[in-house]
Structure 1
């Protein structure tokens, strides 16, 4: 499929989605959010895609925020609709996708850009990356899940400070906070993400799907994460992947998971 604001390519089981608005520092607008939803939906349904990597074009930005010009004149009702539709269409959608999603943060990840990275299952960053939620400096708060996901990742106190000061942290501080898993030079960022993706792809995609669902359940109100884990654990025993995995272990050979 052809896109105007993003790129999507699939090679060796990995779909790489690139936000491609370098002249706008890859800022998110309605068109980009819509195209990202379409690309993630297509990749999630693609049997050949085992891992998704999302990054930004150029060397300056992953996604430097939302396109403020699109909503500067919104009223309360339109603003609530913007946040609700965006969360449902993209940010919550990514979080609950059964295909693993890695954010390769290659520069500025601010506002909606950091919210996009946080919606992914985990993050790796280049040494030049800068991250923050500067919305209060504009008289607004994060609206795409930032006030919820940031505390989950870095703790309440650090999240409060980051949001209230509207400041940025560098890649090393993000690593210290647990906001990213790894930091590497920019020229090695995609290679690192692909290396991790390769490790993921050696395992059962069916089991990984269940693990994503169980881990996410811990952060959803009214859902017993332990009960979700028990159910997903039990489901594994009815899969071909489980039969192959246990048989391969007992036969002391490498498992060849059918993904069923």
Structure 2
């Protein structure tokens, strides 16, 4: 299989000299697994596993995910990734503010430069499709994670919010860049400046999610969509995602030139050649 060459997640990693060693508390948290992973039939299911804290993201979980995303992207047995939160109360409520309150300003600034800034693009850099399965609360950095996903499916009781301005800062994990591209600048300004909540119905109307389903059907719907995508040749899906991502970064003429090269990459793949041979065989039989 031949793709247009692009650096994957690891190329975005900060130099190791900037990485602070894990504290004893973080080592204990890592041992307790802040995330769960299962891989079956080409689908990786990643569960944010801190239900007691509404799946908020502490430093240990961020470090785990920074290692996980590029590793899943490299695995040949993974074609689609589904992300959800443990339990039915929340996908994620963003940063663990309780943990953050124990850290010094210097430590938080360091993390912003060398940890949080990397998480703002680590998931979106994955070449494989990523589906968010959202139940309950999805707020702040939790929703910024969803904005990095390709498809979002939420429960009827889902509640969204970007409340950072009410706490004296702003959504610095990508929402100020991605949300206007999704819903337009006026709507993005309203949601970010007011910090208000919006429900599943409004999210669907604004194009902030793809589907709204009953709470007990969220995972079924997400996994059904993942299985459908996983049933297709990977090369076409991956190149389509790369071309779509490119459309967010460049003008029309440059984007169309990129499409040509991405399309040519598909033509060199064994998967495409097998599909083409299949079409020929069907024509001969008919």
Structure 1 pair 242–183 and aligned structure 2 pair: CA distance change class (3 A): same
Structure 1 pair 109–83 and aligned structure 2 pair: CA distance change class (3 A): farther
Query: What's the counterpart of residue 274 of structure 2?
Result: 244
Structure 1 pair 57–98 and aligned structure 2 pair: CA distance change class (3 A): same
CA distance in 1, matches of 2:117, 2:243: 21
TM-score, normalised via structure 1 length: 0.89
> Alpha-carbon deviations, 1:127-171, whole Å to 9, x = none?
111111100000101111011111111211111100011011111
Whether 1:154 aligns to 2:183 is yes
State the Cα RMSD in Å: 2.2
CA distance in 2, matches of 1:183, 1:13: 24
Rg (Cα) greater in structure? 2
Unaligned runs of 5+ in 2: 1-29
Alpha carbons 2:37, 2:46 under 8 Å: kept: yes
CA distance in 1, matches of 2:205, 2:113: 30
Deviation at 1:71, TM superposition (A): 3.6
Alpha carbons 1:8, 1:39 under 8 Å: kept: no
Query: What's the counterpart of residue 179 of structure 1?
Result: 208
234-243 or 217-226, larger mean C-alpha shift = 217-226
Query: What's the counterpart of residue 148 of structure 2?
Result: 119
The ranges of structure 1 where at least 4 consecutive aligned residues each deviate by more than 4 angstroms after the TM superposition are none
19-28 or 76-85, larger mean C-alpha shift = 76-85
Question: Relative contact order (alpha carbons < 8 A, sep ≥ 6): 1 or 2 greater?
Answer: 2
TM-score, normalised via structure 2 length: 0.82
Unaligned runs of 5+ in 1: 254-260
Alpha carbons 2:43, 2:230 under 8 Å: kept: no
Alpha carbons 2:243, 2:255 under 8 Å: kept: yes
CA distance in 2, matches of 1:137, 1:79: 20
